[in-house]
Amino acid sequence: MGSFKSSVFLLVLHFLEGVVSNSLTQLNNNGYEGIVVAIDPNIPEDETLIQHIKDMVTEASPYLFEATEKRFYFKSVAILIPENWKTKPEYVRPKLETYKNADILVAEPNVPGNDEPYTEQMGNCGEKGERIHFTPDFLTGKRAAQYGPQGRALVHEWAHLRWGVYDEYNDKQKFYVSNGKRQAVRCSADISGENVINKCQGGSCVTKSCKVDKVTGLYEEGCEFIPSKLQTVKASIMFSQSIDSVVEFCTEKNHNKEAPNLQNQKCNLRSTWEVIRDSEDFKKTTPMTTQPPKPTFSLLQIGQRIVCLVLDKSGSMSNGDRLNRMNQAGKLFLLQTIEQGSWVGMVTFDSAAHVQSELIQINSGAERDALSKRLPTAASGGTSICSGLRSAFAIIRKKYPTDGSEIVLLTDGEDNTISSCFNEVKQSGAVIHTVALGPSAAKELEELSKMTGGVQTYASDQAQNNGLIDAFGALTSGNGAASQRSIQLESKGLTLQNNQWMNGTVIVDSTVGKDTVFLITWTKQPPQIFLWDPSKKKQDGFVVDANAKMAYLQIPGTAKVGTWSYSLQASSQTLTLTVTSRPSSATVPPITVTSKMNKNTGIFPSAMVVYAKIHQGTSPILRATVTAVIESVNGKTVTLELLDNGAGADAAKDDGVYSRYFTAYDTNGRYSVKVWALGGVNAATQRLIPQQTGAMYIPGWIENGEIKWNPPRPEINKDPESKQVCFSRTSSGGSFVASGIPQSPIPDRFPPCQITDLKAKIHGYTFINLTWTAPGDDYDYGRAHEYIIRISTNVLDLRDKFNDSVQVNTSDLIPKEANSEEVFVFKPENIAFENGTDLFIAIQAVDKSNLKSEISNIARVSLFIPPPIPPETPSPSLPCPEISVNSTIPGLHVLKVVWKWLGELQLPIALG
């Protein structure tokens, strides 16, 4: 096999192709422009926070510039100010900037006192992250002793976000053994410090040297590496940027490849600078010869939501009941999804545009009903998408600038003139959300979403999949208060025969319940509808719209918490049920599910990844049942169970992000994605801090030879609060376009996925116990054919010369089904394994077509045989004294005992 390093590099490029990123940030002549920093609406108004953000970015820019060998700096930043803060003349309306595409979010900590800066990273090494999180106390400098200057911490987080590198420390394992010596996990290994423990009792603390655990050979629990304040080492920023001398990333020359940290585990021992060098940013820049300018800032304040529906009513919309299905989805959007206080207009188009409604502000149900009545009732004519867009811009400009407005564009037809208005769209500052309906919708449609940061969705003609309603349900505000957003609890459909029943349940949990709507659609005749609340009380009062073939019930007040049951009966037609609601409280965050694909385009045989993030506020929801349904343009659906197990496509275990590879391509064209999430008896919300990447908490510093401890870190991972939750949610994951798929039968071109969670332990000083999560035949689906396990005493030899390393006998190891736990115990042979030996292990999975996975993360064991405990020298055995129970005189009794005892020892006795 060739160099593993080069094969990993090719894999990274393979996965980076078309990676989805919501960010508006662009790299222009070495400068990052369009960065969005959003202040959460729940943060009390504090103008000084804006200045702190400016100071942080201004401090960070020259540090980033020098750290990247004069390649990158921060050029322009937009600060998104909440709508509920006071307005000022210098605050302008955003264009494409929203909370959804913010690069940095400033929000209160998920647990009080936990002000750790961190970055959400869903993907693998080299893939862009999702968002950086800072707290107000961090920004104001109250945590500088623990995390260092804010500007330096921003550069640490930017490397996570932009280049997909990982931390070079390890809070879970702070020390390791190398060649029989204990080392702190750090990079570079030249960073100096002391290994000490702070033992506190009764209000007083004493610093002591760490003791060695005689079983593991590592230091005792609680031992910390305290760095010296004065250092000369320049690397590395991903270990601790807060050390004054650290101004560089680790390179291949000074990278500590042995340290058990996430950077080594996820990036196959490559240094952070090697990963950065492989990035697209690096490839399209050259070092600058002059100093960069200071960053510029724009202050943007969220305003009222402005939306214009642009709906296709061309002749092809009469096919497959499309026009009626569009109206059903549009009516739900107008009745429920669009938030109170928003401005809404409507345009339809065929060969030309038709204004159905000027902008109307949604203040009550009357405006919602009035707009619903403007939905088109007949389909005819051609398709002129640009006419519809231009008409929408004109409607909006009558009241507001188009900056920051939104257009929902739905079409089922082709239009070869669509590119003629691309420049107008770019200049408008409007966000275009696209809904492609049916197999023939314009191929250029997605370009409108990509260039404006809008949502792209696809709905097939299979009514039972409820794709159109899901697409419109996904169009909640990117900026509005979370308490006002519509949340979809259920979305199901079924084609019934011979008076069959469609039965089911929907869970209304305590975080939702306001404005709850049950919507039922049909294709022929109204069905029988039965709905019972959790107390088994039958709910009546459905509003029936026979023309639109739909009925809906709005639950007054707040819907009862618990399980609602429904039964629908019909014959020879398709029914759908959709349930939406809003948060029950303005202060308690609701459980939310957001789903997405890792790329907008899939090119065979590239695997796609589907993600679903389930959180309540910033707390992850664990142990939910999460299912993705992916539908091709042919109407074929594939169901995937998404997992939060830290294996396969899932980057981190128990972080509330559920993931899975998708390889079951059916045909070229569009695919839609929908996610169901169900929380049952095992689901729990935890105030546990999941594995996250961020600046290291420094426990203390050595200054002038004296250890100065920082305040202890909040103990948020010990005895975490765990609350059982039952809930149901559905979420649209948008759509993607697949290409390059060969004619059926599709050949097997998918290898098993890389094993990323290999762990090794010494068992009885002789055997090694391995555990990992089984990959599949095709990435993480099915069953691999065999495993190849190799070992080496040199970590780089194992990585770069895997095929030349010693192979372990695995003839008795039969792979299990994907995502099962694998356990394998072996005794190292043909290799020296004695006290002090460091042994490195890696696995490669092979499928039935002899396709091989990438080599696993490299696990390490260090054989430590504790020295024998010297026998204790026995003390002289003294005979027991004889006690005369007949002695009645106390003094005489003691004298007799002593006299007899000394006599038996034959010691001289002197009496005086």
pLDDT tens-digit map of 434-444: 999 999 999 99
Does residue 898 register a pLDDT over 60? no
Residues 211 and 141 in one domain: no
Chain CA centroid to CA 57, Å? 24
Query: In 3-state terms, what secondary structure has residue 749?
Result: coil
Kindly state whether residue 752 falls inside one of the protein's structural domains.
no
Chain segment 363-396, per-residue pLDDT in tens: 999 999 999 999 999 999 999 999 999 999 999 9
pLDDT at 832: 85
Residues 411 and 319 in one domain: yes
Q: What percent of the chain lies above the pLDDT cut of 90?
A: 83
**CA–CA distance, 583 with 481 (Å, rounded to integer):** 10
Residues 604 and 567 in one domain: no
Kindly state whether residue 13 falls inside one of the protein's structural domains.
no
Contact 311, 387 (CB under 8 A): no
Question: How many CB atoms are located within 10 Å of the residue 723 CB?
Answer: 11
Angle CA 301–302–306, to nearest 5: 135
pLDDT at 863: 87
Q: What is the strand order of the sheet 31-33 is part of?
A: 26-28, 31-33, 73-74
Contact 801, 831 (CB under 8 A): no
Length of the chain: 912
Kindly state whether residue 233 falls inside one of the protein's structural domains.
yes
Residue 286 phi, psi dihedral angles, 5° rounding: -130, 155
Instruction: Considering the candidates 116, 157, 248, 339, report the single residue annotated as catalytic.
Output: 157
Of the given ranges (7-11, 86-90, 606-610, 727-731), which has the lowest mean pLDDT? 7-11
Chain segment 643-672, per-residue pLDDT in tens: 999 999 999 999 999 999 999 999 999 999
Residues 297 and 313 in one domain: no
pLDDT at 18: 39
**CA–CA distance, 395 with 400 (Å, rounded to integer):** 9
Residues 447 and 507 in one domain: no
**CA–CA distance, 114 with 97 (Å, rounded to integer):** 28
pLDDT at 893: 36
Question: How many CB atoms are located within 10 Å of the residue 68 CB?
Answer: 23
Tell which residue, 757, 845, 53, 95, has the closest CA to residue 402. 95
String of b and e for 4-31 (b: at least 16 CB within 10 Å)? beeebbebbeebbebbbbbbbbebeebb
Residues 286 and 312 in one domain: no
Burial of 809 (0-12, 13-18, 19+ CB in 10 A): exposed
Chain segment 388-424, per-residue pLDDT in tens: 999 999 999 999 999 999 999 999 999 999 999 999 9
Domain boundary among 396, 420, 455: 455
Does residue 909 register a pLDDT over 50? no
Chain segment 820-835, per-residue pLDDT in tens: 999 999 999 989 888 8
Q: What is the 3-state secondary structure (H, E, C) of 199-256?
A: EEECCEEEEEECCECCCCCCECCCCEEEEECCCCCCECHHHHCCCCCCCECCCCCCCC
User: Distance of CA 286 to CAs 27, 28, 277, 849, Å?
Assistant: 12, 12, 11, 44
Q: Residue 242: CB partners within 8 Å, gap ≥ 6?
A: 147, 148, 149, 152, 153, 695, 696, 698
Chain segment 326-335, per-residue pLDDT in tens: 999 999 999 9
**CA–CA distance, 328 with 691 (Å, rounded to integer):** 42
Angle CA 664–666–637, to nearest 5: 75
Burial of 216 (0-12, 13-18, 19+ CB in 10 A): middle
Structural domain for 283, as ranges: 26-167+276-301
Domain boundary among 557, 585, 613: 585
Q: What is the mean pLDDT of residues 297-318?
A: 97
pLDDT at 870: 65
Chain segment 213-263, per-residue pLDDT in tens: 888 889 999 999 999 999 999 999 999 999 999 999 999 999 999 999 999
Confidence class for position 22, pLDDT limits 50, 70, 90: confident
Residues 566 and 613 in one domain: no
Q: Residue 47: CB partners within 8 Å, gap ≥ 6?
A: none
pLDDT at 901: 37
Does residue 908 register a pLDDT over 90? no
Does residue 162 register a pLDDT over 90? yes
pLDDT at 36: 98
CA torsion sign for 478, 483, 486, 488 is: positive
Kindly state whether residue 727 falls inside one of the protein's structural domains.
yes
Kindly state whether residue 680 falls inside one of the protein's structural domains.
yes
- Helices H / strands E in the chain, number of each: 17, 49
Q: What is the mean pLDDT of residues 618-646?
A: 95
Angle CA 342–344–347, to nearest 5: 165
**CA–CA distance, 883 with 300 (Å, rounded to integer):** 95
How is residue 327 written in tokens? 């109206």
Residues 293 and 357 in one domain: no
Angle CA 55–61–64, to nearest 5: 135
**CA–CA distance, 699 with 171 (Å, rounded to integer):** 11
DSSP annotation of 30 = T
Of the given ranges (13-22, 173-182, 561-570, 728-737), which has the lowest mean pLDDT? 13-22
Kindly state whether residue 9 falls inside one of the protein's structural domains.
no
Residues 327 and 441 in one domain: yes
**CA–CA distance, 621 with 613 (Å, rounded to integer):** 9
Q: What is the 3-state secondary structure (H, E, C) of 278-298?
A: CCHHHHCCCCCCCCCCCCEEE
Rg (CA), the chain: 33
Does residue 211 register a pLDDT over 60? yes
Q: What is the total count of domains within the chain?
A: 6
Residues 149 and 80 in one domain: yes
Contact 189, 183 (CB under 8 A): yes
157 is catalytic: yes
Residues 150 and 202 in one domain: no
**CA–CA distance, 434 with 455 (Å, rounded to integer):** 6
For strand 786-792 and strand 806-807, is the pairing parallel, antiparallel, or unpaired?
antiparallel
Chain segment 104-131, per-residue pLDDT in tens: 999 998 788 889 999 999 999 999 999 9
Domain boundary among 863, 878, 907: 863
Kindly state whether residue 548 falls inside one of the protein's structural domains.
yes
What pTM was computed for the model?
A: 0.90
Kindly state whether residue 47 falls inside one of the protein's structural domains.
yes
Q: What is the 3-state secondary structure (H, E, C) of 634-682?
A: CCCEEEEEEECECCCCCCCECCCEEEEEECCCCCCEEEEEEEEEEECCC
Q: Residue 558: CB partners within 8 Å, gap ≥ 6?
A: 513, 514, 516, 584
Listing DSSP states for 436-479 in one string gives: EESTTS-TTHHHHHHHHT--EEEE-S-GGG-HHHHHHHT---SS
Mean predicted lDDT score pLDDT of the chain: 90
pLDDT at 718: 44
Q: What is the mean pLDDT of residues 46-70?
A: 98
**CA–CA distance, 243 with 145 (Å, rounded to integer):** 11
Residues 38 and 158 in one domain: yes
